[in-house]
Structure 1
Amino acid sequence: MIDKVLVAGSGAMGSQIAMVAALAGCEVTLYDIDRGALERALVDLRERLDRQVAKGRRPAGKVEAALDRLSFTTDLTEETADVDLVIEAIVERLPLKRAFFARLDGLCPARTLLASNSSSFVPSAMASATARPDRFLNLHFFNPALVMACVEVVRGPLTADVAVEAALEFVERLGKTPVVLDNEIPGFVANRLLGAVRDEAIGLLEGGYAGVEAIDTAARTALGYPMGPFELMDLTGIDIGYLTRTARFEETGDPADAPSATVTALVEQGHLGRKSGHGFYTYDGAGNRTGTADLKGQD
């Protein structure tokens, strides 16, 4: 049974994954090389959870107990001696991930399960940096992890059945819904489906067939999506999708896998969506949408 968890990377995904595990009763350590990033993660988590408590979605006592089970560290060696599971959520750069897992492999007990939250890289691309590919897989959570139910459990070609079974038990303990991939494929299931919708939306926009707001409205009112593809890209971060497509293009060499001209231009200009105040839409300092961005010259 997985009781002690280490989550590496204190960004939005890593910090929320750590909190989800703590809420489920696990002893959790959130690791980052930047002490300031850990401090910001704690502030963000408290704000998110306070809102959920205020709305009656979580009991205040359960939240405080979970926060007591969550610790923060910049010392990786100190927290790996008896860890059951490590979930990596660091920057989406394959060399960095491989180096990180190679280091973990030398620090963690042989029984420790190693997992990546990445959807950009398949398990085998990272597992080969370790001596335990049989205990390596991807556990892909969705943003925001405190809310989204799905977790993709992706096995590599050498992942052992016992590792998958342990991962499934852990995901179910979190109250999440596991989706198992028996064979690895870049993008997994959900992001490949979502990518097809995003590609078509970008194609309609760049072809001059419809504007951003019209396409989003159609997705919401005709297809029943909670938000349109451009709204979602702004929410999750346009740079995240850009890095994912860039990684896939580098892997396949297929021009169809490269980021679109529109997305590339937005990233180059620092227009990354809601977090930067400008993406396909514009936002005020509180993150409220104020209008549709002018995308002229970006198609």
Structure 2
Amino acid sequence: MKVQQIAVIGAGQMGHQIGMLCALGGFHTTIQDVQEEALTKAKQSLAILMGKWVEKGKLSPDQKAAAFRRLHFTTSLEEAVKPADFVIEAVVEKLHVKKAVFKELEKYAQQHTIFATNSSTIVNSLIAGVTQRPDKVVNMHFFFPPLVMDCVEVVVSEQTSEETARVTMEVCEKVNRTALLLKKEISGFVANRILGALQKEALSLYEQGIADFKDIDMICRKALNHPIGPFELMDLSGIDVGYYVMEQRYQETGNEEDRPTPSMHEKVEQGHLGRKTGKGWYEYQQIGVKKG
């Protein structure tokens, strides 16, 4: 099987960059979202990002133009999925939403088309049952931001075929990303299980009053040599994203320790989700970050 056309479902902070990666990799790519506003925002964001790449010499003007010629945007799921050989779902991290999307994909996709989920924690076997192609369903977990982060976790279930895994790894190679194949499913995969443990401990230390979140971030940067602290990272990726991941893990395990913490719940309730809303653990202004 040779992948020529890719559909990316969801034009949010992950989806639109995954779509551009695919276009840069030579694939004819369609980004689909139910909201026209999200597509408009995605186009504007990618135009700015690719313009900066050209300025920095990472991309030639011709390469930029060619990538945008291969990239299309639509609100129609049918239009995006019908010609696609490979579909990457990048919607909100909620199992029932992903199941609904995959059920719709089945209506329009060709028989040979592979369905990949960019879920950061949900294993594909929990989603594959709503399709008639569990052998063609796989996890393809990009990291935020996809145009910067050089890693993809490819995770197979017991039903995922070897061909599906091989083709997914080949797509990763063509979009110039280092792919690691995980042959056993586990919620959160590798990176987010390690990251989640760090985040959970950081939140516990903060909520116990052991240290302020700014000091915890500083210790992680200065003592552990992390590029950014756990609270800064939550703001960068979106506090709601981590919240939904913990909610999903709790639903799977029933373990109270997997529930979102009170301070995360408060942030989500207030709509203070991080950089994308202008306020999370830190406040964000056009001139930069106000610490405190």
TM-score by length of structure 2 reads 0.96
Please report the RMSD computed on the Cα atoms of aligned residues, expressed in angstroms.
1.2
Give the ranges of 4+ consecutive aligned residues of structure 1 lying more than 6 Å apart after TM superposition: none
Cα deviations by residue, 1:2-25 (Å, 9 ceiling, x for unpaired): 111000001010000000000011
Residue identity over aligned pairs, in percent, reads 43
Partner residue in 1 for 2:198: 197
2:7 matches 1:6: yes
Paired with 1:40 and 1:290, the residues of 2 have a C-alpha distance of 25
**Structure 2 letter corresponding to 1:99:** A
Contact 2:206 2:213 in 1 (8 A): yes
Partner residue in 2 for 1:289: 289
Paired with 2:245 and 2:95, the residues of 1 have a C-alpha distance of 11
Matches within 5 A, 1:161-176: 161-176=162-177
Question: 5+ unaligned residues in a row in structure 2: which ranges?
Answer: none
Matches within 5 A, 1:9-24: 9-24=10-25
Partner residue in 1 for 2:228: 227
Partner residue in 1 for 2:153: 152
Contact 1:10 1:30 in 2 (8 A): yes
**Structure 2 letter corresponding to 1:18:** G
Partner residue in 1 for 2:246: 245
Question: 5+ unaligned residues in a row in structure 1: which ranges?
Answer: 293-299
Partner residue in 2 for 1:78: 79
Paired with 1:51 and 1:274, the residues of 2 have a C-alpha distance of 20
Matches within 5 A, 1:265-276: 265-276=266-277
Paired with 2:81 and 2:164, the residues of 1 have a C-alpha distance of 18
Contact 1:168 1:178 in 2 (8 A): yes
Paired with 1:166 and 1:74, the residues of 2 have a C-alpha distance of 27
Paired with 2:244 and 2:39, the residues of 1 have a C-alpha distance of 23
Contact 2:139 2:153 in 1 (8 A): yes
Paired with 1:235 and 1:202, the residues of 2 have a C-alpha distance of 16
Partner residue in 1 for 2:47: 46
Contact 1:7 1:86 in 2 (8 A): yes
Paired with 1:20 and 1:149, the residues of 2 have a C-alpha distance of 11
Partner residue in 2 for 1:107: 108
Contact 1:22 1:66 in 2 (8 A): yes
Contact 1:274 1:287 in 2 (8 A): no
**Structure 2 letter corresponding to 1:112:** T
Paired with 2:221 and 2:209, the residues of 1 have a C-alpha distance of 20
Give the Å deviation of 1:61: 1.8
Give the Å deviation of 1:165: 0.5
Give the Å deviation of 1:58: 2.1
**Structure 1 letter corresponding to 2:67:** A
Partner residue in 2 for 1:57: 58
Give the Å deviation of 1:30: 0.5
Paired with 1:125 and 1:203, the residues of 2 have a C-alpha distance of 30
Contact 1:154 1:183 in 2 (8 A): yes
Contact 2:31 2:80 in 1 (8 A): no
Contact 2:82 2:110 in 1 (8 A): yes
Q: Which SS does the other structure have where 1:12 is aligned? A: coil
**Structure 1 letter corresponding to 2:226:** Y
Give the Å deviation of 1:287: 6.8
TM-score by length of structure 1 reads 0.94
Q: Which SS does the other structure have where 1:17 is aligned? A: helix
Give the Å deviation of 1:111: 0.7
Partner residue in 2 for 1:118: 119
